[in-house]
């Protein structure tokens, strides 16, 4: 039987919205938002979308009017009652009332601030400016909208069965990964793929398939909406934007040197247990750990998000040992450009030495490589970053010079202040 009402309802859409909820975003964004709301409520920042894959001419593929409609729709969203209840009442990382009442009251009343959109050289320049804790919430939906509009542009020309076979192939491809991973003893893997997913529905499918296929080896998703609906754990801690903005606000070189630790001192006050995860690479992992205060060695773990992941983990292990900590008790979360073979290699290498864990992103939720002619659905590398804070440019060095960003003179200053020397370049795929 045709469900007439559903069909007529679908007819009435002016657009098919990509983002339908303010919590269709990464969990760590909300944790960081609360932290910023509490500690730096007056900071003004600018976020900017950067397409690192210049050969994908987004402005040729995606109609500007459609993009504006999607972005305008996101601005019309506010937190629903059920979403609010979930955020207030759900247990996250073993803790109830993770989000404080004053933050929730503000969040319930907020909407996303305006965006600024221009076309240049076949690309979109998309920027957001305003209060840090508001503007930061644009990052994930902005990326997801551009990724999915690009998917839709490619899918638009395909036939009914061609489409079905495309998704059949993508499903079979994901399931092969599940079958490779399910034999891996002690695996702990989460979905980190919201920002560069093929589409919302596809991410939702992937999470459910991983949940069935991997059982308790699949520990959850970074996507709050999917975590809520599918009743899996919401996963995530913090990101580079915190040290980047704190650093940009520093008045002196000494304050700059201290900024990354200030971030974690604020975090230390708010969170404990598995939320105490160091992200050490913003200005070079090695120097960051060498100069770190002793209390940081007591944190639960570390996230390796750039550079060679095995090297990063070994550096962390040596550091913990030098501070009298037992590495086998520590979480090491790998989250940079993972795919199955790399996950298996890292799990086998570090199992027993630390507690390895994986945040699997784009190649879980958007591995359409090889499924269409000219690889027109292969994922590509876009990011949306804080580029300025209170009018001053931000800088990121990372452990991979290909991921560095900021003005050249500022990069030079940061390298000097943080004592970063030669770095090994790694290709950025996704």
Residue for token pair 């970063």: 420
Q: What residues are paired with 336 via a beta bridge?
A: none
Q: Write down the number of H helices and E strands in the chain.
A: 19, 11
- Joined tokens for residue 425: 């370049």
Counting contacts by CB under 8 A, is residue 93 touching a second copy? Answer: no
CB of 231 within 8 A of CB of 35?
no
Pick the piece of the chain touching a second copy (CB under 8 A) from 2-10, 100-108, 144-152, 348-356: 2-10
Q: Residue 165 Cβ, how far from a second copy at the closest point, in Å?
A: 4
Task: Indicate the residue among 64 and 212 with the shorter CB distance to a second copy.
Answer: 212
Q: Residue 223 Cβ, how far from a second copy at the closest point, in Å?
A: 18
- The HSE-up count of residue 295 (CA atoms within 13 Å, CB side) is 10
Counting contacts by CB under 8 A, is residue 375 touching a second copy? Answer: no
* Sequence-ordered strand ranges (E) for 197-276: 218-221
Kindly tell me which residue out of 122, 213, 393, 401 binds a second copy, with binding defined by CB under 8 A.
Answer: 213
Q: Residue 152 Cβ, how far from a second copy at the closest point, in Å?
A: 20
CB of 342 within 8 A of CB of 364?
no
C-alpha separations of 213 from 3, 173, 430 in Å = 31, 13, 25
State the DSSP code for 144: H
Q: What residues are paired with 51 via a beta bridge?
A: 382
Pick the piece of the chain touching a second copy (CB under 8 A) from 24-32, 158-166, 249-257, 391-399: 158-166
Counting contacts by CB under 8 A, is residue 131 touching a second copy? Answer: no
Counting contacts by CB under 8 A, is residue 229 touching a second copy? Answer: no
Pick the piece of the chain touching a second copy (CB under 8 A) from 62-70, 166-174, 192-200, 307-315: 166-174
List CB contacts of 288: < 8 A, sequence separation 6 or more: 260, 280, 281, 282, 418
Cα separation, 228 vs 232, whole angstroms: 7
Per-position x/- string for 3-42, each x denoting binding to a second copy as judged by CB under 8 A, each - no binding: x-xx------------------------------------
Residue for token pair 């076979």: 165
Kindly tell me which residue out of 65, 109, 159, 391 binds a second copy, with binding defined by CB under 8 A.
Answer: 159
Per-position x/- string for 173-202, each x denoting binding to a second copy as judged by CB under 8 A, each - no binding: -xx---------------------------
Kindly tell me which residue out of 160, 185, 408, 427 binds a second copy, with binding defined by CB under 8 A.
Answer: 160
Counting contacts by CB under 8 A, is residue 168 touching a second copy? Answer: yes
Cα separation, 37 vs 58, whole angstroms: 33
- Interface with a second copy by CB under 8 A: which residues? 1, 3, 5-6, 159-162, 164-165, 167-172, 174-175, 208-209, 212-213
């Amino acid at each position: 039987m045709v469900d007439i009402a559903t069909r007529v309802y679908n007819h009435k859409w002016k657009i098919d919205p990509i983002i339908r909820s303010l919590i269709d975003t990464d969990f760590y964004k909300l944790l960081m938002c609360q932290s910023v709301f509490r500690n730096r409520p007056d900071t003004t920042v600018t976020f900017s979308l950067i397409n690192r894959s210049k050969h994908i001419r987004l402005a040729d593929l995606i109609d500007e009017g459609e993009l504006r409609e999607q972005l305008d729709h996101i601005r019309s969203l506010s937190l629903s009652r059920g979403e609010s209840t979930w955020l207030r009442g759900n247990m996250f990382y073993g803790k109830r009332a993770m989000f404080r009442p004053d933050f929730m009251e503000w969040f319930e009343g907020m909407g996303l601030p305006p965006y600024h959109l221009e076309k240049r050289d076949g690309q979109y320049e998309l920027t957001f400016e305003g209060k840090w804790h508001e503007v930061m919430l644009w990052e994930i939906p902005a990326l997801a909208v551009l990724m999915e509009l690009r998917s839709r542009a490619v899918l638009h020309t395909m036939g009914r069965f061609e489409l079905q076979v495309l998704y059949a192939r993508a499903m079979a491809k994901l399931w092969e990964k599940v079958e490779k991973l399910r034999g891996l003893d002690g695996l702990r893997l989460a979905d980190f793929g919201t920002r560069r997913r093929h589409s919302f529905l596809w991410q939702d499918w992937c999470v459910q398939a991983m949940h069935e296929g991997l059982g308790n080896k699949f520990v959850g998703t970074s996507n709050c909406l999917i975590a809520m609906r599918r009743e899996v754990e919401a996963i995530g801690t913090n990101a580079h934007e915190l040290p980047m903005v704190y650093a940009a606000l520093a008045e002196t070189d000494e304050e700059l040197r201290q900024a990354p630790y200030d971030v974690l001192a604020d975090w230390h006050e708010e969170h404990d247990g598995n939320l105490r995860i160091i992200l050490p690479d913003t200005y070079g992992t090695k120097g960051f750990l060498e100069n770190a205060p002793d209390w940081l060695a007591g944190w639960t773990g570390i996230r390796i998000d750039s550079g060679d992941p095995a090297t990063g983990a070994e550096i962390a292990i040596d550091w913990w040992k030098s501070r009298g900590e037992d590495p086998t008790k520590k979480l090491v979360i790998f989250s940079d450009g993972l795919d199955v073979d790399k996950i298996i290699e890292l799990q086998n290498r570090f199992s027993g030495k630390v507690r390895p864990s994986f945040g699997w992103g784009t190649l879980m939720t958007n591995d359409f490589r090889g499924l269409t002619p000219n690889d027109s659905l292969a994922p590509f590398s876009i990011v949306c970053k804080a580029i300025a804070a209170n009018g001053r440019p931000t800088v990121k060095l990372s452990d991979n010079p290909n991921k560095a960003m900021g003005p050249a003179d500022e990069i030079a200053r940061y390298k000097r202040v943080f004592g970063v020397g030669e770095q090994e370049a790694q290709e950025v795929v996704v």
